[in-house]
Amino acid sequence: MKTIQSITTLFCLALLLLLAACSSSQPAAAPEQGNQPAAAPAPAPSAGEKKEIILATTTSTQDSGLLDALLPVFEQQSGITVKVIAVGTGQAIKLGEEGNADVLLVHSRKAEDEFVEKGFGINAFDVMYNQFYIVGPAEDPAGIKGVQSAKEAMAKIAEKQSPFVSRGDDSGTDKKEKSIWKEAAITPEGSWYVSSGQGMGETLQMADEMRAYTLTDEATFLSRKLNLEVLVQGDKSLLNPYGIIQVKSSAKPEEGMQLIRFFTEEQGQKLIGEFGKETYGKGLFVPDAKKR
């Protein structure tokens, strides 16, 4: 009798464990389910109802604080609540493909064009750009300070095998880095080339700890206090254009378009240009809206 009881208890325990384990491996899929109930009860946006849209964007727009400066203004004017999912460009685009977001604000031109070509997106606009820097320790072991072209600087780093931390997370910044290596006809390999698989902030921190070089966007770099120096900037290949795209399968095209218009028209563009001036003495993003 006692044995049966204890065995039953154990089975229940095992089941619970399995359930717990199963549910903890699910968060990847959770956001998908989260959106559907929100979409279902609001097919016809009536005036009194609370309207919501989902903006999938890169971590850089969120971490830099740009969205905190823009979205409250938009939400107040339009009455539309914007839910932000800040992830890597790769995942943001995936969210769009699966219809789990209404609007994308991302920065990987090639991936964006593919997204539109494959019929997942419409109404694509240029919004703004910011800069990438190649940063590194003040000692500059590869001697890249003042080198004009990003390609040459990276080639020097590879030649000296100076430590370089790569995002390695398929993000917009990571794609940019890979494209520069490709331009320089170098396949970075070896113990000097460290792939962190993490966000920009973490990667910068790692480069700082390791006395290594890395490629970073301006906004994230300026928002961190680190012992790294900007060594290469201004090259054309280091410009980082952002695009805003409407997801074609979105259930709320009207609201999505309102958000896109806000970002690309006068008021939003002005706010983008002014963002960061107070804190850093210069704007972090340069507005340049135009329809593609």
Partner 1 sequence: MMTQDVWEVIWLSLQVTTVSVAIGMLAGIPTGTLLGLYSFRGKRFVVALIYTCMGLPPVLVGVVVYLLLSRYGPLGSLGLLFTPEAMIIAQVILVTPILAGLTMSAVQAKERAYWETAKSLGASPVQMMITIVREARGGIWSGVAAAYGRAISEVGAVMLVGGNIEHHTRVMTTAIILETRTGNFTAGLQLGLVLLAISFLFNSFLMAGVLNQMKSRRR
Contacting residues toward partner 1, per CB under 8 A: 2-3, 6, 10, 13-14, 17-18, 21-22, 24-25, 27-29, 87-88, 90-91, 93-95, 168-171, 194-198, 202, 206, 208-211
Give residue 291's identity as a one-letter amino acid code: K
- Could you tell me the smallest distance in angstroms from the CB atom of residue 7 to partner 1? 8
Q: Which residue's CB is nearer to partner 1, number 225 or number 282?
A: 225
CA distances (Å), origin 148, targets 152, 186, 206, 278, 285: 8, 18, 25, 29, 22
Q: Which residue's CB is nearer to partner 1, number 92 or number 232?
A: 92
Q: Give the torsion sign (CA, 40, 244, 75, 131).
A: positive
- 193 φ, ψ to 5°? -100, 105
- Could you tell me the smallest distance in angstroms from the CB atom of residue 224 to partner 1? 14
SS (H, E, C) 229-286: EEEECCCHHHEEEEEEEEECCCCCHHHHHHHHHHHHCHHHHHHHHHCCHHHHCCCCCE
Q: Are strands 51-58 and 103-106 parallel, antiparallel or unpaired?
A: parallel
Q: Which residue's CB is nearer to partner 1, number 194 or number 259?
A: 194
Of all helices (H) and strands (E), which one includes residue 16? helix 2-24
- Could you tell me the smallest distance in angstroms from the CB atom of residue 48 to partner 1? 37
Long-range contacts of 66-71 (CB under 8 A, 24+ apart): 66/219, 66/272, 66/275, 66/276, 66/284, 66/285, 69/271, 69/275, 70/262, 70/263, 70/268, 70/271, 70/272, 70/275
How many CB atoms sit inside 10 A of residue 59's CB? 21
- Could you tell me the smallest distance in angstroms from the CB atom of residue 109 to partner 1? 18
- Could you tell me the smallest distance in angstroms from the CB atom of residue 84 to partner 1? 15
What is the rounded distance in angstroms from the CA atom of residue 245 to the CA atom of residue 204?
A: 29
How many CB atoms sit inside 10 A of residue 149's CB? 17
- Could you tell me the smallest distance in angstroms from the CB atom of residue 175 to partner 1? 11
Query: In the Cβ-directed half-sphere of 176, how many Cα atoms lie within 13 Å?
Result: 29
Q: Which residue's CB is nearer to partner 1, number 168 or number 253?
A: 168
Q: Which residue's CB is nearer to partner 1, number 199 or number 243?
A: 199
- Could you tell me the smallest distance in angstroms from the CB atom of residue 116 to partner 1? 17
Q: Which residue's CB is nearer to partner 1, number 4 or number 185?
A: 4
Q: Which residue's CB is nearer to partner 1, number 112 or number 235?
A: 112
- Could you tell me the smallest distance in angstroms from the CB atom of residue 14 to partner 1? 7
Q: Which residue's CB is nearer to partner 1, number 94 or number 261?
A: 94
Query: In the Cβ-directed half-sphere of 78, how many Cα atoms lie within 13 Å?
Result: 23
